[in-house]
A and B are shown apart, each in its own frame.
Chain A
Amino acid sequence: MNKTLLIIQREYLTRVKNKRFVLTTILMPLLIVVLIAGTTFLSIKGKDERKIAVIDQNGFFKGNIKSTKALAFEFPEGVDTSNYLQKGYSDIILIPKFDSTGKMNYLIRSKKRISITTESAISERINAAIEDNMLQTAGIDKAQLDSIHQQSQYAELKAVEENGEGVKESSAGLSYGIGFGSGMLIYITMFIYGAMVMRGVMEEKTNRIAEVMVSSVKPFQLMAGKIIGIGAVGLTQFLMWIILIIGLTTAAQAFIPHDVMEQVKTLQQANGQMPGGGMTQAGDAAQQIYKMQHTFSTANWPVIILCFIFYFLGGYLFYAALFAAVGSVVNEDPQDAQSLMLPITMPIIFSFIIMTNAVQDPSTPMAVWASIIPFSSPMVMMARIAYGIPGTVPYWQLGLSMLSLIGGFLLTTWLSAKIYRTGILMYGKKVSWKEMFKWAFRKN
């Protein structure tokens, strides 16, 4: 059997058979699901309920302000700042008489400090009520106003993008999510698997296996075998996660009541409209599920997944070779590794920062160039691809980025191999970056 293949096999199997690998592979998606479910649950259940007493000098807000369970406005008699707590209110709002300038300051007193979201919710509702008041004084009667409110609730923004022959629905929120998620995933995996390569090389060097190995295989085969083997471990982990996540969501769907699923199905067939001219309304839950599924379907998943795999592998290969080079020059002291790693981790962290900007605004020159240069392209390009090909990312940019990444990792592998070859057989000497450069660029 081919020697490199043997090395790949060993690197792969020893890691995949490891208990820690099995555990993280299974626990990670579970953890994510629990985290999402937990935050959703908390955001629904955990909101503090506030019962607010409103002392209104104008007598207008009663009946005109929207009151909900989480944020209840009441207009009791005989409550003031001295006794609202005893009467069972959490806060008290004092609203002075409207003055003609339209400016007004009102006050809220509470025992428990109010959160920023509650604060903005309160001011939003008060402002809406004031606006209503102004509209009414301008001559619009209450019935009209109510019907206007009713209708405007059904307006919804639908974004579409130019797509060759026609238009295609798109969702900025989803693009953001995909872009950020995949960029983040590449960032994390680059560190995890890059460090894994480095530790593997260090193990071989400090345990003095390297010389035994290079008497049977070429140093390059040893390095390449390790990098490819660990890359395969990473791919396996992704694949398992995708399967687990699909499995878990399918399992979760089983908990949705049957009639809700039926409604979702009819919504899908009718393209979002309930048959019967909107007379029969689908339930809230069904609407939400449909909306989620519909939004998800606007993304071009096959392209995104293919690009993700490409950029994950490309980015991994680009940096793993550098990590291997660092591992090969480190002696027993892990502190050396820390300082030598810095020039590699800096561009990764820097790319991450560019990525977080690119995902908000994917067409700035900074984002475009960062998505082409191989140091940062894996993360930044993933952030941009989520916004669509060829709308946001023209084909030439994608092609150039992919080619330069391939060229980039061939270059780093070639340079690292030269450092690695010298480094793994060098014991007891501290190596500087200057020396590593000398090794990398010398002939033969």
Chain B
Amino acid sequence: MNKILELSNLKKYYATQKAVDDISFSIEKGSIFGLLGPNGAGKTTLLRMITGIFYPDSGDIRFDGKTFDPENDIIKIGYMPEERGLYKKMKIGEQALYLAQLKGLSKSEAMTKIKFWFKRLEMETWWNKKVEDLSKGMSQKLQFVTTVLHEPKLIILDEPFSGLDPVNANLIKDEIYGLAQRGSTIIFSTHRMEQVEEICDHIVLVNLGKKILDGTVANIKQQFKENKFAIQLGEVPASLTAPSFEITDQKAHRLTVKIRDGYRSNDVLQHLLQQNLTIEAFHEVLPSLNEIFINLVEGTRATSRAFQPVNP
């Protein structure tokens, strides 16, 4: 079994909305998985079910090949929720120790691991400081450490980079890669598509409580490509028309063309060569996840969903 998590037909209905409506997908061990969706799509509810905070109304969760048992499996999961915080009056060190012990580590074990991580992320001098003295970015770092400290098999990070400066964001990003390499699986939930594109292997997009997209980043891009190519020419003739393509955009020597149905990119190249034009660059333009996301979500009244009554 190479799946860390398998969800099948998960449902969770609230009085006023279907938060999660029949969602199924699975996550490979050791992968970095992106869970995407607009605000109020049901991501948080989904994550809360995966972390055992909520019970699904129906459906089945399998964790590491066995039926999910929140009681015992919870220590194998590290969850950094979007709404997160720490005890303000508590010292950093004590706080980390407390949270680690609640995850089932013994005191001495917890101490060793805290020291390791504090050293790694240059936080050693923070031990006796209070959380209220930390900046937002600093407490974010602490939050990350407390999430991964107990070496969970599954790490769930909801908007992990919010409030981090680029330097610290990179630091955390590297740690995420490192954790994945060492065998942890990471679920990464965010609105920032460029981060998803950069980090994730596999994504699922949910909207209105339903899964609308599931696949690897590369596959999805292939799936949604519009046969667009970017061309850079040495000189652009006054008029350039051919049955094989149409120009959708032009900026100085750069053209974006859409290949008409029934033609291939080679037809375009052949036409350009016949015209004896200097081709400086020619490459396919794949849609960004951002474009795909907006295309799929726009117009689905996703944002106003929270105020819609459920029609049974």
Number of A-B contacts (CB under 8 A): 56
**A401 to B: closest C-beta gap in Å:** 37
Among residues of B, the one whose C-beta sits closest to the C-beta of A427 is: B83
A425 within 8 A of B: yes
25 contacts between A and B (CB under 8 A): A1-B101, A6-B98, A6-B101, A6-B102, A14-B87, A14-B90, A203-B88, A207-B86, A208-B81, A208-B85, A209-B85, A211-B53, A211-B84, A212-B79, A212-B86, A212-B99, A212-B143, A214-B53, A215-B53, A215-B77, A216-B75, A216-B99, A216-B102, A425-B53, A444-B55
Expressed in whole angstroms, the Cα–Cα distance for A14 and B99 within the complex equals 15
**B72 to A: closest C-beta gap in Å:** 12
Beta-carbon contact of B81 and A211 below 8 Å: yes
Expressed in whole angstroms, the Cα–Cα distance for A1 and B87 within the complex equals 21
Beta-carbon contact of B74 and A216 below 8 Å: yes
Beta-carbon contact of B85 and A215 below 8 Å: no
**A161 to B: closest C-beta gap in Å:** 52
Identify the 5 closest CB pairs spanning chains A and B, nearest first: A208-B85, A207-B85, A215-B79, A211-B81, A216-B102
Beta-carbon contact of B48 and A425 below 8 Å: yes
Specify which chain A residues have a CB less than 8 angstroms from the CB of B115 in the assembled complex. Answer: none
**A165 to B: closest C-beta gap in Å:** 57
Among residues of B, the one whose C-beta sits closest to the C-beta of A438 is: B15
A87 within 8 A of B: no
The 8 A CB mask of A397-425 against B (1 = contact, 0 = none) is 00000000000000000000000000001
**B30 to A: closest C-beta gap in Å:** 22
B256 within 8 A of A: no
B103 within 8 A of A: yes
Specify which chain A residues have a CB less than 8 angstroms from the CB of B83 in the assembled complex. Answer: 208, 211, 427
**B150 to A: closest C-beta gap in Å:** 9
Which of B80, B87, B146 counts the most A-chain CB atoms under 10 A from its CB?
A: B87
**B51 to A: closest C-beta gap in Å:** 5
A217 within 8 A of B: yes
A213 within 8 A of B: yes
Specify which chain A residues have a CB less than 8 angstroms from the CB of B80 in the assembled complex. Answer: 212
Specify which chain B residues have a CB less than 8 angstroms from the CB of A212 in the assembled complex. Answer: 79-81, 84-86, 99, 143, 146
**B47 to A: closest C-beta gap in Å:** 9
The 8 A CB mask of A352-380 against B (1 = contact, 0 = none) is 00000000000000000000000000000
Expressed in whole angstroms, the Cα–Cα distance for A7 and B90 within the complex equals 14
**B156 to A: closest C-beta gap in Å:** 8
Contact partner, B89, options A14, A216, A425, A444, Cβ 8 Å: A14
Which of A6, A209, A212, A427 counts the most B-chain CB atoms under 10 A from its CB?
A: A212
Among residues of A, the one whose C-beta sits closest to the C-beta of B100 is: A216
A3 within 8 A of B: yes
Specify which chain A residues have a CB less than 8 angstroms from the CB of B99 in the assembled complex. Answer: 212, 216
A10 within 8 A of B: yes
The 8 A CB mask of B283-309 against A (1 = contact, 0 = none) is 000000000000000000000000000
Specify which chain A residues have a CB less than 8 angstroms from the CB of B102 in the assembled complex. Answer: 3, 6-7, 213, 216-217
Q: How many residues of B contact A (CB 8 A)?
A: 26
Q: How many residues of A contact B (CB 8 A)?
A: 20
Among residues of B, the one whose C-beta sits closest to the C-beta of A219 is: B53
**B178 to A: closest C-beta gap in Å:** 22
Specify which chain B residues have a CB less than 8 angstroms from the CB of A7 in the assembled complex. Answer: 102
Expressed in whole angstroms, the Cα–Cα distance for A73 and B219 within the complex equals 111
Beta-carbon contact of B87 and A207 below 8 Å: yes
Extra A-B contacts (8), CB below 8 Å, given A3-B102, A217-B102: A6-B98, A6-B102, A7-B102, A14-B90, A203-B88, A215-B53, A215-B79, A216-B103
Expressed in whole angstroms, the Cα–Cα distance for A211 and B86 within the complex equals 10
The 8 A CB mask of B208-249 against A (1 = contact, 0 = none) is 000000000000000000000000000000000000000000
Beta-carbon contact of B86 and A209 below 8 Å: yes
**A203 to B: closest C-beta gap in Å:** 8
Beta-carbon contact of A208 and B84 below 8 Å: yes
**A407 to B: closest C-beta gap in Å:** 28
Beta-carbon contact of A215 and B101 below 8 Å: no
Specify which chain B residues have a CB less than 8 angstroms from the CB of A214 in the assembled complex. Answer: 53
Among residues of A, the one whose C-beta sits closest to the C-beta of B87 is: A209
Among residues of A, the one whose C-beta sits closest to the C-beta of B103 is: A216
Among residues of A, the one whose C-beta sits closest to the C-beta of B132 is: A207
Expressed in whole angstroms, the Cα–Cα distance for A207 and B85 within the complex equals 5
Q: Given A6-B101, A213-B102, A215-B81, is A207 in contact with B88 using a C-beta cutoff of 8 Å?
A: yes
Beta-carbon contact of B74 and A215 below 8 Å: yes
Expressed in whole angstroms, the Cα–Cα distance for A214 and B51 within the complex equals 9
Specify which chain B residues have a CB less than 8 angstroms from the CB of A217 in the assembled complex. Answer: 102
Specify which chain B residues have a CB less than 8 angstroms from the CB of A425 in the assembled complex. Answer: 48, 53
Specify which chain B residues have a CB less than 8 angstroms from the CB of A203 in the assembled complex. Answer: 87-88
Expressed in whole angstroms, the Cα–Cα distance for A48 and B103 within the complex equals 69
Expressed in whole angstroms, the Cα–Cα distance for A444 and B54 within the complex equals 11
**CB within 8 Å of B: which of A420-444?**
425, 427, 444
Specify which chain B residues have a CB less than 8 angstroms from the CB of A14 in the assembled complex. Answer: 87, 89-90
The 8 A CB mask of A181-218 against B (1 = contact, 0 = none) is 00000000000000000000001000111011111110
**A199 to B: closest C-beta gap in Å:** 12
Q: Given A6-B98, A10-B98, A208-B83, is A215 in contact with B89 using a C-beta cutoff of 8 Å?
A: no
Specify which chain B residues have a CB less than 8 angstroms from the CB of A1 in the assembled complex. Answer: 101
The 8 A CB mask of B95-111 against A (1 = contact, 0 = none) is 00011011100000000
Which of A6, A211, A213 counts the most B-chain CB atoms under 10 A from its CB?
A: A211
Among residues of B, the one whose C-beta sits closest to the C-beta of A215 is: B79
**B147 to A: closest C-beta gap in Å:** 8
Expressed in whole angstroms, the Cα–Cα distance for A52 and B103 within the complex equals 81
Among residues of A, the one whose C-beta sits closest to the C-beta of B75 is: A216
Specify which chain A residues have a CB less than 8 angstroms from the CB of B79 in the assembled complex. Answer: 212, 215
Expressed in whole angstroms, the Cα–Cα distance for A307 and B298 within the complex equals 66
Which of B48, B74, B83, B146 counts the most A-chain CB atoms under 10 A from its CB?
A: B83
